[in-house]
Amino acid sequence: MLAVTRARVATLHGSAPELERRAHAAPPGRRFALGAGGAVGLIAEVKRRSPSQGAIRSDLDPVEHARAYVRGGAAAVSVLTDEGHFGGSLEDLERVAAAVSVPVLRKDFILDELQIVEARAAGASAVLLIVRALPPDRVQALARAAGAWGLQTLIEVHAIEELDSALAAEPDAIGVNARDLATFAVDLRRAETVIRQVPRQVTVVAESGIETRADVERVAAAGADFVLVGTSVARHREPEQAVRALVGVQRSPR
C-alpha cells in the first residue's frame, strides 16, 4: 500500500504550483469539537472497501452518506482517499467537504507535504499521519506542514512504543488503532491499554473494531474522546440510524 502511495506522490510534483494556489484559496478548516454534554464524539467514515474486508458498499454515494452521518449526530466525517485499496478519491473528499458543515478528515497514507496541500485544496480540516508508516522525523515534519496549512493532525499509533514519536509531533489528537496494519487483526483490549497511557490533556480517537454501542462504551470507559467508525456505518442501508445508535455515550476521564 505504501509503495502504491509513493508512486502516486511522485506524480504530484509537477502540479505543485496549482495545488498550492488552490490550497491558499480554500476556506478555513473547521475545528473538531467534542460531543454535547460530555459525550464521545463520533467520526463517521465514507468507505467503499478495505483490504481486510473487501467490498463494503460499492454503490456508496459519499455526499449522501456524509449528510446522513451528520443528521445522525456525527461530529466529523472521515473520507478515505486511497483509490486502489479503499475505493476512495480526492474528488470524494472535495465533494463531502463542500456538502457538510462539520470537519472533514482526509484518511490516507500521507508521506509527503504535497498530500497535505492536496488535502487543504480539497477542503479538508485535518489529516491522518500514521506513526508506523513514517520515521519519527517525518512525522514531525508533516505535522508542522499540516499546521502551517491550517490543518489539524490526527496521529495514529497501534502500540504503546509508538506513543513517544506521536507525542513529539505535538498532535491535535492521538488516534489509537485497534487494527494491526501488518496482520489486519483487531484487538480492542490492546487499544484500551494504549488509550489509558495517553496524557490526559491530549485528545484520543479510538479507531477500528468499533461496530456497536457496547464497543463505544468500552473505549469511552478507557478514556477515548472520539471514536472513528467506518465499516459498520458505511455498509448500513440507513446510515443516519446507524450513527444515531452510536452517539451520546458519556466520556470517562483517563
The set of catalytic residues is 45, 47, 107, 156, 177, 207-208
Q: Could you please report the per-residue DSSP string of 179-194?
A: B-TTT--B-HHHHHHH
Residue with cell 458543515: 101
Would you state the cell numbers that stand for residue 217, as one nine-digit string? 462504551
Give the angle 129-130-133 at the CA atoms, nearest 5°. Answer: 125
CA atoms within 13 A on the CB side of 226: 28
Neighbours of 236 (CB within 10 A): 16
Q: Cα 50 vs. chain centroid, distance in angstroms?
A: 14
Grouping H, G, I as helix, E, B as strand and the rest as coil, residue 254 is coil
Give the separation between CA 127 and CA 152, rounded to whole angstroms: 7
